[in-house]
Amino acid sequence: MVQRYVMSIDQGTTSTRCILFDARGRLVSVAQREHQQHFPRPGWVEHDATEIWRNVARIVPQALADAGATADQVVGLGIANQRETTVLWDRHTGHPVGRAIVWQDTRTDAMLEQLAREPGAARVRQLCGLPLATYFSAPRVRWLLERTPGLRERAERGDILFGTLESWLIWNLTGGAEGGVHVTDVTNASRTMLMNLRTLSWDDELLDFFDVPRRMLPEIRSSTEVYGKTSRVVPGIRIAAALGDQQAALFGQTCFAPGEAKCTYGTGSFLLLNTGQTPVLSTHGMLTTVGFKIGEEPAVYALEGSIAVTGSLVQWFRDGLELIGSAPEIETLARTVDDNGGCYIVPAFSGLFAPHWHSEARGVIAGLTSYITKGHLARAVLEATGWQTREVVDAMNADSGLALSSLRVDGGMTADNLLMQFVADVLDVPVVRPMVAETVSLGAAYAAGLAVGYWPDLEGLRRNWHRAGQWLPAMDPARRDSEYAHWRQAVELTFGWMRPGPAAVAPGSDLVDVLLADHHRFEQLLRELRNTAADRPALVAELAAELVAHATATDRILGADGEPFADELLAVLDGDDFEKALLRLETVVDRHVRAEERGPLNELRATMSTSDRTGLGRAFAAERRRQLDLRCGEPGHIRELGARLKL
């Protein structure tokens, strides 16, 4: 009997791999080639899409040859890819218009600050589930269209195509300029900021906001279906699946039910939680994304926490500080001490991702004393990954209402047993690693095999999953809580670092003083609004922004509950029966101010040191400033928050 295989192409940030899997999900052969990283300016990261395509053309035949297999033994091909990385190319020649702009690239930061002030900015997250951030594709497309002479006109004529890497590879594999299929899947489309998360189609409002021509976009398809057959490299193979790499890992870890989660530990780390067939819009800094869509079945959604720096912190410890000679040595060095000695490293090398989203933050080493050795620093490096995972899991639990019961892990860092034990300790749940480490490639293969009937159903895939290692929590709860509090204090020190000046909080700003200053400003604005000769629209807009920013910062930094006030605030913004609406809002604000000054402020003065209040003050002010930068007082944003908006 002729052996049949499923092929997977894993197009990653640093390399591309082709793997053949058998019916039991076992790796049969693998071929891999790295591609060059280009850093033309600070903050810019680029790849050569043509080089990546050439690498695919080499590794696919190699993987077949290594397995002693032919193309007719491959039942289907699945593609997983680095997400958000943006390629534009000429439909007629197949040549990219320039290098691909990689997901790590931050060149669109200034553009996004401007877009955040535009009408409709508050609608973006409601429609696509993503915040305005340099991480995603749409701002890069706009940047290229604006800065490449004649490119917008060519795109509007349909001569220029846009895609993430799976679109680029599928188009080339199916013929390129000679009839290539221009498609993407819902998981990759959900990372562009251009797809409506509920309709799973390109959204006219988002296209208008980012000024992206519809004619350049690929057709959105499900994650598991036959898009076409290869006509180049190795002709005749059905291309039957495409998923973004982290969604592919979710699929490869068989996290098919709501509440199941995986975390991939690599250069950065990505934690995805299956939330079922309804998207959960995050209020705690998570990303709402599509997990996968099987054929004609409803889409399955996920919450994602993206951590920018985990494995790359170990690389910095090795290459930048030269305290170890190889990455695995960090575990040995960390085991020379029993704890971190009170030292914490927050690796905000280029800002903080989830759940904070502070692009202006920069890294700190906190708690240094003469007692600290390189062993303590090594331990702090590993613990930073654990604590960042804890922050993401806490936010996910709060958003989803689902309590994580275990965490499936994969990626290179899972070989570090000390780290995995620490993750289990700080999460207080079991951490489990599967037998097959290549979960991204396996997930793409599973999806393709499912599409062509190689595997009958999801339960068949679950039976292929086998545990290779497990770590159970063993940390004393009191120690866990104490160390987490110190970690959060260290994180707060990173906020606002790249935004000094009038908008920044002075280093000595006590939280009590920050809150009292807010109260004073509320009262001042309300007094001015009673003056019928005042510029009421401007004052109302400022009051709305200040109140929403204060309420959001209070919820996220202090965790305090309060009285819903969205209806009262919207009534003032709408302007109908203004005097009556203003009186109702003033009553709510007055109750909040009096309650806060009688209760929490006195408690803060009595129970917390000045330095602790200062740390919280900085964090509160940074969060408030971030909300103001996002135009949080827009009516659309207030309606989205609804009953969650409390004073």
Sign of the C-alpha dihedral computed for residues 632, 636, 639 and 640 taken in this order: negative
**Domain-located, residue 487:** yes
- Candidate from 87-96, 114-123, 226-235, 442-451 with smallest mean pLDDT: 114-123
Domain total for the chain?
2
Which single residue is written with the structure tokens 């959060």?
A: 488
Q: Would you give the distance in Å from CA 41 to the centre of its chain?
A: 24
3-state secondary structure of 88: strand
pLDDT of residue 499: 58
- DSSP H helices in 465-608: 477-492, 511-529, 536-553, 566-574, 578-598, 600-607
Pick the residue with more confidence: 1 or 310?
A: 310
For residues 433 and 549, state if they share a domain: no
For residues 603 and 559, state if they share a domain: yes
Residues whose CB falls within 8 Å of the CB of residue 364, separated by 6 or more in sequence, listed in order: 345, 346, 348, 490, 493, 494
Assign residue 350 the CATH number of its domain.
3.30.420.40
pLDDT value at 538 more than 90: no
DSSP codes joined into one string, 14-52:
SEEEEEEE-TTS-EEEEEEEE---B--STT--EE-HHHH
pLDDT of residue 508: 45
Residue 235 corresponds to which amino acid?
Answer: P
The total of other beta-carbon atoms located within 10 Å of residue 169's CB is 24
pLDDT of residue 533: 67
For residues 296 and 331, state if they share a domain: yes
For residues 471 and 380, state if they share a domain: yes
For residues 473 and 557, state if they share a domain: no
The total of other beta-carbon atoms located within 10 Å of residue 338's CB is 9
For residues 373 and 327, state if they share a domain: yes
pLDDT tens readout for residues 255-297: 999 888 999 998 889 999 999 998 888 878 788 899 999 999 9
pLDDT value at 359 more than 80: no
**Domain-located, residue 390:** yes
pLDDT of residue 504: 38
pLDDT tens readout for residues 282-292: 878 788 899 99
**Domain-located, residue 150:** no
pLDDT of residue 290: 95
pLDDT of residue 50: 96
The total of other beta-carbon atoms located within 10 Å of residue 407's CB is 24
For residues 483 and 571, state if they share a domain: no
**Domain-located, residue 317:** yes
- Candidate from 1-15, 17-31, 547-561, 594-608 with smallest mean pLDDT: 594-608
41 pLDDT band, cuts 50/70/90, is confident
**Domain-located, residue 235:** no
Residues at the binding site for sn-glycerol 3-phosphate are 13, 83-84, 135, 245
Residues at the binding site for ATP are 13-15, 267, 311, 315, 412
Domain range for 381: 257-437+460-493
pTM of the model: 0.73
613 pLDDT band, cuts 50/70/90, is confident
pLDDT tens readout for residues 174-198: 999 999 999 999 999 999 999 999 9
For residues 398 and 268, state if they share a domain: yes
Mean pLDDT of 98-105: 90
Answer whether 356's CB lies under 8 Å from 392's CB. Answer: no
Mean pLDDT of 386-412: 88
Tell me how far apart the alpha carbons of residues 153 and 113 are, in angstroms, rounded to a whole number: 26
Number of H helices, E strands in the chain: 23, 23
Pick the residue with more confidence: 82 or 527?
A: 82
Mean pLDDT of 512-533: 81
For residues 488 and 536, state if they share a domain: no
DSSP codes joined into one string, 131-181:
-S-TTSHHHHHHHHHHHSTTHHHHHHHT-EEEE-HHHHHHHHHTTTTTT--
**Domain-located, residue 296:** yes
Of 313-322, 371-380, 531-540, highest mean pLDDT: 371-380
pLDDT of residue 114: 85
620 pLDDT band, cuts 50/70/90, is confident
Q: What are the backbone dihedrals phi and psi of residue 181, each rounded to the nearest 5 degrees, phi first?
A: -85, 125
Residues at the binding site for ADP are 13, 17, 267, 311, 412
Residues at the binding site are 13-15, 17, 83-84, 135, 245-246, 267, 311, 315, 412
Pick the residue with more confidence: 116 or 47?
A: 47
pLDDT of residue 503: 37
Residues at the binding site for glycerol are 83-84, 135, 245-246
pLDDT value at 402 more than 80: no
3-state secondary structure of 278: coil
For residues 537 and 634, state if they share a domain: yes
For residues 430 and 292, state if they share a domain: yes
3-state secondary structure of 296: coil
**Domain-located, residue 216:** no
Tell me how far apart the alpha carbons of residues 18 and 230 are, in angstroms, rounded to a whole number: 15
DSSP strand pairing (364-366 vs 300-307) = unpaired
Pick the residue with more confidence: 375 or 107?
A: 375
Sign of the C-alpha dihedral computed for residues 131, 132, 133 and 139 taken in this order: positive
What is the overall mean pLDDT for the chain? Answer: 89
**Domain-located, residue 569:** yes
Q: Strand pairing partners for 244? A: 81
506 pLDDT band, cuts 50/70/90, is very low
pLDDT of residue 502: 37
For residues 467 and 551, state if they share a domain: no
Q: What are the backbone dihedrals phi and psi of residue 646, each rounded to the nearest 5 degrees, phi first?
A: -135, 145
